[in-house]
Amino acid sequence: MNWFWYASPQTFDPLAGRMAPWFALAAALLAAAGLYVGFFVAPTDAQQGEVYRIIFIHVPAAWLSMFIYLVMAFWAALGLAFNTRLSGMMASALAPTGALFTFIALWTGSLWGRPTWGTYWVWDARLTSELVLLFLYLGFIALQAAIDDPRRADRAGALLAIVGAVNIPIIHYSVVWWNTLHQGASVSVTRGASMQSQMLIAMLLMALGFWMYSIAVTLVRVRCIMREREA
Amino acid sequence: MKPRHRKLAAIGGGVVALGIVVALVLTAFQKNLVFFFSPTQVAAKEAPLGRTFRIGGIVEPGSVKRDGVDVRFVVTDTAQGLPVVFSGALPDLFREGKMVVAQGQLREDGVFHAREVLAKHDENYMPPEAKEAVEKAHQAAKKGKP
What are the chain B neighbours of A125 within 8 Å (beta carbons)?
A: 33, 35
Task: Provide the pLDDT for residue A32.
Answer: 96
What is the model's pLDDT at position A177?
84
Q: Which pLDDT band, with edges at 50, 70 and 90, does B46 fall under? A: confident
Average confidence (pLDDT) over A172-176: 88
Chain B residue closest in CA terms to A193: B124
Task: Check whether B136 has a pLDDT greater than 80.
Answer: no
Query: pLDDT-derived band of residue B146, with 50, 70 and 90 as boundaries?
Result: very low
pLDDT, tens only, A201-226 = 999 999 999 999 999 999 999 999 99
What confidence tens digit (pLDDT) does each residue in A144-171 have? 999 989 889 999 999 999 999 999 999 9
Using a pLDDT cut of 90, give the percent of chain A over it: 61
**Count of residues making up chain B:** 146
CA distance to partner chain B, nearest, from residue A186 (Å):
5
Minimum-distance CB partner of A183 among B35, B91, B121 = B121
- Going from the C-alpha of B58 to that of each of A179, B38, B55, the distances in angstroms are 14, 10, 10
Question: Sorting pLDDT into bands at 50, 70 and 90, what band is A2?
Answer: low
Beta-sheet strands, E only, within chain B: 53-59, 65-67, 70-76, 81-87, 99-106, 112-119
Q: What long-range pairs does A187-191 form, CB within 8 A, spacing at least 24?
A: A187/A59
Judge whether residue B145 has pLDDT over 60.
no
Please enumerate, as own/partner, the contacts of A4-8 that have beta carbons within 8 Å and a separation of 24 or more: A4/A84, A6/A86, A7/A82, A7/A84, A7/A85, A7/A86, A7/A87, A8/A84, A8/A85, A8/A86
**Averaged pLDDT for residues A133-143:** 94
Q: Give the number of other Cβ atoms within 10 Å of residue A169's Cβ.
A: 16
Identify the pLDDT of residue B49.
Answer: 75
Average pLDDT over residues B52-63: 88
pLDDT above 60: residue A1: no
- CA distances to A82, A166, A168, B102, B144 from A171, rounded to whole Å, are 29, 9, 5, 23, 43
What is the pLDDT of chain A when averaged over all its residues?
90
What's the mean pLDDT in A64-72?
96
Residue B115: φ, ψ to 5°: -100, -25
Q: What is the pLDDT of residue A142?
A: 93
Q: pLDDT confidence of B81, banded at 50, 70, 90?
A: confident
Rounded to two decimals, what is the model's pTM?
A: 0.85
**Chain B positions with Cβ closer than 8 Å to A:** 4, 7-8, 11, 14-15, 18-19, 22, 26, 30, 33-38, 56, 89-95, 98, 101, 116-131
Hey, are the CB atoms on A162 and B33 less than 8 Å from each other? no
Name the band, by pLDDT with cuts 50, 70 and 90, for residue A231: low
pLDDT in tens, B106-129: 888 888 998 888 888 877 777 777
Distance of CA B108 to the CA centre of its chain: 23
Q: Which residues of B touch A178 (CB under 8 A)?
A: 30, 33-35
pLDDT at residue A216, rounded to an integer: 96
Instruction: Tell me which chain B residue has its CA closest to the CA of residue A174.
Output: B33
Q: Which of A145-149, A173-177, A189-193, B108-112 has the least mean pLDDT?
A: A189-193
Closest CB to A48: pick one of B56, B93, B120.
B93
Cα of B135 to nearest chain A Cα, Å: 12
